[in-house]
Amino acid sequence: MNSNIVIAVVVSAIAFGTPLVLAGLGELLAERSGVLNLGVEGMMLMGAVTAFFVSQKTHGSTALVLLLAVLASMGAGVAMALIHAFLSITIRVNQIVSGLAVTIFAGIIGLSSYLGQVWNIGGVAGRHQFNGIDLFGLQNLPIVGPIIFNEDAFVYASWVLVLAVLYYLYRTRPGLYLRAVGENPAAADAMGINVTAYRYTHTLIGGAFAGLGGAYFTLALAPIWTDGLTAGFGWIAIALVIFAFWRPDLLVLGAYLFGVFSALGPTLETRGITVLPSEFYSALPFLMTVIALAAASTSWANRRVGTPASLGIPYTREEG
């Protein structure tokens, strides 16, 4: 019984952690190039609403519809990221304000809600969704079966993406250039690296990842559209990048840890265990984020922090 609960929490933690992994990886890439994007929550909501619209209104086999929905969500994320990139990179609006503006524009009372209503997709159950795959026929193995070998394609894709980002960042030349742009754009520029192009590219990739993170909500986690359904996950993803010290490997661990905090309440509640009020469990991920951020800024952690030195600072050759 007790081990069942633990497995249930872990399985559910992976589900809640997956959008954090995806959106967090995207934010990590953008920040590594020196662009802080506070628009993640808005970009996720746009990804979620677009993916759900496509999955509801497109006809075809489930696999094809889901593929189109996923691509659409990435497109929506890229479109939002393009606004932020243009404002913050090209015309050098304060990145914090620009990112907040994107979240307000696309957020809970913004474009995502508007489109949800115009497209008339609110409150109805999804027609297609990602289901668990019995990977290698191993889903009945004890413990690891349900946790590792019975996830949906989205989760497996997120694992592949983590490895891809790790390889890209530390083992390829563009990855090295990316880190150079984030640490010292003037030096990178002198080396002949196109700083603007790197920043644009990685901000847009970040948008695509955030869109994917949003799509996970409406295509896998809970296939339904309601305004503001990402419920702060975009913000937790941004915080994750900080206390993962801008490292993809730690980011995954952090995302699943926060998945546990998010999963605890619903799992206990469905089993009738109500020791603490449900609001406490709902608030837990946010409280823990504050604590984790504080812990990551103590002097012990500060020695390890890999904040890209140019994060949030626009680059201009003339003034630099």
List of residues contacting another protein (CB under 8 A): 38, 83, 87, 90-94, 96-98, 100-102, 104-118, 194-196, 227, 232, 235-236, 238-239, 242, 277-280, 282-283, 286-287, 289-290, 293-294, 296-298, 302, 315-319
Measured from the CB atom, the residue of 140 and 302 that comes closer to another protein is 302
Measured from the CB atom, the residue of 64 and 294 that comes closer to another protein is 294
Q: Which two tokens stand for residue 283?
A: 């608030």
Phi, psi for 127 (deg, rounded to 5): -85, -30
Measured from the CB atom, the residue of 98 and 267 that comes closer to another protein is 98
Measured from the CB atom, the residue of 62 and 90 that comes closer to another protein is 90
| Plot region of 125 (φ>0 → left; ψ -120 to 50 → alpha; else → beta) | beta
Measured from the CB atom, the residue of 130 and 235 that comes closer to another protein is 235
CB of 98 to another protein, least distance (A): 7
CB of 14 to another protein, least distance (A): 22
CB of 212 to another protein, least distance (A): 22
Measured from the CB atom, the residue of 2 and 279 that comes closer to another protein is 279
CB of 171 to another protein, least distance (A): 27
- Give 186-189's long-range contacts (Cβ < 8 A, gap of 24+): 186/315, 186/317, 186/320, 189/315, 189/317, 189/320
CB of 295 to another protein, least distance (A): 9
Q: Which two tokens stand for residue 156?
A: 């497996």
CB of 22 to another protein, least distance (A): 19
Residue indicated by tokens 């997956």: 18
> Of 26, 36, 24, which Cα lies nearest the Cα of 252?
24
